[in-house]
Amino acid sequence: MTNRETNREANREWWRSATVYQVYPRSFADSNGDGIGDLQGIVNKLDYIADLGVDAVWVSPFFKSPMKDFGYDISDYRAVDPIFGTMDDFKTLLDRAHQRGLKVLIDQVWNHTSDRHPWFLESRSSRDNPKADWYVWADAKPDGSPPNNWLSTFGGRAWTWDEGRQQYYLHNFLAEQPDLNWYNPEVIDAILDVARFWLDMGVDGFRLDVVNFFTHDRQLRDNPPRPDSVPRPAGADINDPFFDRINLYNFCQPKTLELLEKIRSLTDRYPGTTTLAEISSAEDTVGISSEYVRGNKRLHMAYNSSLMTPEPLDYQRLCDIVRSVEQRFGDSVICWTGGTHDFPRLKSRWMKFLIDDAFTHEAFDHMFAALLLSLRGSCCIYQGDELGLTQAVIPYDKMQDPFGLAGYPKVLGRDGSRTPMPWEKEGVNAGFTTAKEPWLPIPDEHLEKAVDEQERHANSLLNKYRRLLHWRKQQPALIRGKLHLLETPEPLFGIERYCDEQRLLCLFNLSPKAVHFDVSTYPNCREAKEPDFSVRQYDETIELPAYGVFFGEIEL
């Protein structure tokens, strides 16, 4: 057994309480001056990621692609796109990350491929070729229209007519992203071969893109219209026509849960590896995501949009989410996520609900960081959220996102959360690239939040994340403890995390006004020295300032 295999075996369930840092390669760091981030750029910034104190880095797609959806339309699962570098660059990234104690998760897009993938080119060539059934094909209705009323999440019909086959093919996203047919065992075998390729190379696991889209209703039934009485899923844009219907049949099918066992069986042969499922567009985000990780034969972790909605993060909503997660997930693992490359920046989602002053905004950012790292399960931090970046406003002539371009101006798309990382306040292009201009513009307001600027200030959000992440690793109750939701008076959200070695009282003031809490029922409760949130204590009463946080150790 190699040293790597030994280490994996010793810590095979590291993912249960992991902190994962998501890197969107195009926007992280550009090493060759072409305006687009690349793998060597990530290598150059690995010390930054390691110094944060996270356990793993999730790298969004860097595979060969026509880039119609910026890498989520893959034409070769086993090749690095030249935009991002070479396979040797990825191997260097993998090796250097492991040297720093970082796990590496890579995105796997198994619901669909690019329409330029050799599999699809063969599949569309005839109705009787060896890969004819590798994608989802269907005949037209007698009038020539698509087989049903399913919509693409990117706008328009989910079906495109192919002249060669004289059939429609399914695409839940762009027309250039045809859906694979997961009912075909040959497709599953081919996908698992791709997984083995990367696992054998040494990756520590996969983030699985839109895993709940893998299968569809084989009867191709129409989706019903959405009555006014049925709310849209969490995070759904009110202007997005995709949610004008209740999506009963185009995804979230029970068959997918059976197929997950094949993926889990494979990863179980590589001790210490893990899978992180993205649950997208589901009606019941918490309930559906819990199904994908239930037991030990499905996936390891799942994240959803429950904390990525535009509603205010108030007391009742937060209690409802945590209570639902505790009931639905049980011992399974949710990955708490406040933002990804697919959602507006978390800071901008909630700023409009806060008092308009810099101190309040900063206090809220610090409070949310502490909350994210205190809940039971793993968590994910999207690049730039640790800096408090706001959602960028991208002019139409600079927009790149096909979803945003299709929905403009009602749906602005994802470009605003994908702008390049600001490394230097005074540097050219904020230190991201030496090119004349980056692939997306960097807003002026991000310069004040640049990494080098925040590193100068001990109380910056970046340094707070660093202290919290390192402190969290030393708290047994946060790493392996259970969670008890407290009945605290609104607006004070409270939980207790506990295990045999430690009991920890965690309180979060969700308001812009100071609140008080009586700790007399908690014997010898003393404030944890790190991280400091400037909480005042008077005998058995603590005062939490606006958006303040209190961590108290309770005597066992």
What does the radius of gyration of the chain's CA atoms come to, in whole angstroms?
24
Strand order in the sheet with 526-527: 482-485, 492-498, 503-509, 549-554, 526-527
Tell me how far apart the alpha carbons of residues 237 and 183 are, in angstroms, rounded to a whole number.
Answer: 31
Do 272 and 201 meet the contact criterion of CB atoms below 8 Å apart?
Answer: no
CA 8 → CA 2, 98, 456, distances in Å? 10, 12, 37
Do 453 and 425 meet the contact criterion of CB atoms below 8 Å apart?
Answer: yes
Tell me how far apart the alpha carbons of residues 391 and 150 are, in angstroms, rounded to a whole number.
Answer: 31
CA 229 → CA 129, 226, 232, 246, distances in Å? 47, 8, 10, 12
Residue 13 is a catalytic residue: no
- 446-460: string of b/e by CB count within 10 Å (b at 16+)? beebbbebbeeeeeb
Which of 306, 355, 340 lies closest to 416, judged by CA? 340
Residue 227's CB: how many other CB atoms inside 10 A? 7
The residue from 81, 89, 278, 291 that is catalytic is 278
Tell me how far apart the alpha carbons of residues 170 and 119 are, in angstroms, rounded to a whole number.
Answer: 15
Residue 314 is a catalytic residue: no
The residue from 81, 115, 179, 209 that is catalytic is 209
- 131-159: string of b/e by CB count within 10 Å (b at 16+)? bbbbbbbeeeeeeeebbbbbbbbbbebbb
Q: Catalytic residue numbers? A: 209, 278
